[in-house]
Chain A
């Protein structure tokens, strides 16, 4: 019964704080509308600088074939390597393709010709993927030429194995489909992680926590009354997110909304528990803020939001295992894109429940009503 009044008090405090209540409504909207358009790691529109020292039909056909592909724009035609390198230094081009002067001669007479591909690999992803796309086009061109030059090639060498690539769940490989569900989780984390972290500490700084401590309310009820409002806020934020994702990107979960809400309820519980732990240990608001900031930003980066967890070194993967975000982001993507059901996701569900249990028990235990 007393819980009801305590919760009412929390809500009144949240409502009174104009900045906070605005944040809850506007922040998700803005972030989700803008960020997925920015978070685009698609490797295409690679700017190519061509040095064609050969100027024969063979070299020109190769250049045309590359220009016709979706990935490359030929932005610079250069005459020497030095000048081409300059264009890379100025970020005008990403890759240099150099065709040697003896290209045709080498190919026809010696049967082996070289071309040079120099990629700007400061961004390893772009450099690597770009040069392997280019090598792929080259290989295609190569087999075209081979068929032309020697029509009697054995069948085996020409066709061989047929490899088909199929991209499931996202056939056009749109990056936003990957980012939108993950950004929702990030929003939920920031709002439900930061705010509770500041709650108890700011009561400490204002001195009002003393008044709470001298009441007969027990620790458990007190913590619960702090948790529940953020739980409700989490649901509101999530619902806004669904709306925005549908409105802006036409994305609606393939799986059931209930699955997401179920996971979200556990996730928010776990994360606000973590926030409360921070606020129990911090003496000042400033400490709480820095701690919360560090923990949240680490969790976000380690969670596979931007780069897959599988790519990380083993020790980093262990760290990511203790980030609840990792599980929830995976679940969100699965439900949104693949329509996984709760039955498919029992393991992450139990893990998240475990987090919620541990964090909240810890929060209750570490809360001290009496000062020593």
Chain B
């Protein structure tokens, strides 16, 4: 009602429209700057999250606690236990006195692996009997279990060769292992792009959807909509300040990941920025979409935080490789913008590939941006009539 009366009164010049728009954007900036606490959270949170997760999300197994049951207690078993502790993979947590303690040790969750030697170990080894070592690993963490048993097996095998004192083993095939892109196996290389994708998406979507829902909840949305501005611009003016805020976030994230986390930007900086700006745009559009379907801040927050966080964390390939998932989850994952962004960032930032390698991702993100913007704008228009 009110809208049609206003707009039919007089046609506004583009210049007036522009001034209105700028005024609305400024108003939105005031909102942000006034609430110091929220602004601080928005600017500092991404940095803290990146540092925290970049270091915490470490899949490299080290300092695993082990227990040893050694009934034989001879020089070989003692040397082996020593040998296991030399590099930082294992820490001897305790020596068990009887096999009955094995269960208890696992049940209190103290150790990740228990090594059990057979009796008269050295004797048997010398005389061709059964010198047995059992590696009992706690399978409740599968990757740690298989990693540490592999490590332990290698260490034991290495010791065995020392023991045999063979300088040259006949017919030896030696593998030369080369780790591409990430020679020192820094976990951050894998996780930083993921954390970037998650933080940008969550912050953008959360910020816009909550701020629009807030106007709705306080009833001020009505006031904005009866203003002479077209609803399209009202909504866009909400997104503009957050776009700038996200760019600030993007740069701090990049600075932190390069200078603090030591993750290099191997490829083109220009294309990384282009890609990220596109992604920020998609995330803001997603926020607009969320705010068009909810009416309260709480609902906006719950949808953008919980509803987005879980799928992004789990389905986007940020933590778990998407090729391991069942096909229907991979398909769901394909609809998450973060998945495409993270893939593309890995290609440009870590692998140092050219823009040719990410054309696919760029195209998908562009389509997503257009689709999200048009859907959310249509939704907003419906609400006005």
Contact = CB atoms under 8 A, between A and B. Distances in A.
Among A40, A121, A145, residue most surrounded by chain B Cβ atoms (within 10 Å): A121
Interface in A163-206: 163-171, 173-175, 177-178, 190, 194, 198, 202
A247 B325 CA distance: 20
Nearest to B44: A294
A85 B178 CA distance: 12
Contacts of B185: 121, 124, 127-128
B19 interface: no
Given A111-B168, A114-B174, A117-B176, A178 B140 contact: yes
Interface residues of B, number: 110
Interface in A104-138: 107-108, 111-129, 131-136, 138
Given A149-B171, A319-B52, A198 B298 contact: yes
B96 interface: no
A288 B370 CA distance: 32
Contacts of B310: 31, 35
B37 interface: yes
B14 interface: no
Contacts of B214: 285-286
Contacts of B130: 162
Nearest to A23: B302
Given A134-B175, A334-B109, A161 B190 contact: no
Interface stretch (B1-9, B227-235, B270-278, B350-358): B350-358
Decide if the interface of chain A is mainly helix, strand, loop or mixed: helix
B108 A344 contact: yes
Contact of B179 (A131, A159, A313, A333): A131
Interface in B174-229: 174-183, 185-187, 189-190, 202, 206, 210-211, 214
B377 interface: no
A115 B175 CA distance: 5
Interface of B: 35, 37-38, 41-42, 45, 48-49, 52-53, 55-65, 104, 106-109, 112, 125, 128, 130-147, 149-150, 152-154, 156-157, 160, 164, 166, 168-183, 185-187, 189-190, 202, 206, 210-211, 214, 296-299, 301-302, 305-306, 309-310, 314-315, 319-321, 323-326, 329, 333, 346-347, 350-351, 353, 357
Closest 5 CB pairs of A and B: A170-B139, A167-B139, A173-B142, A121-B179, A124-B185
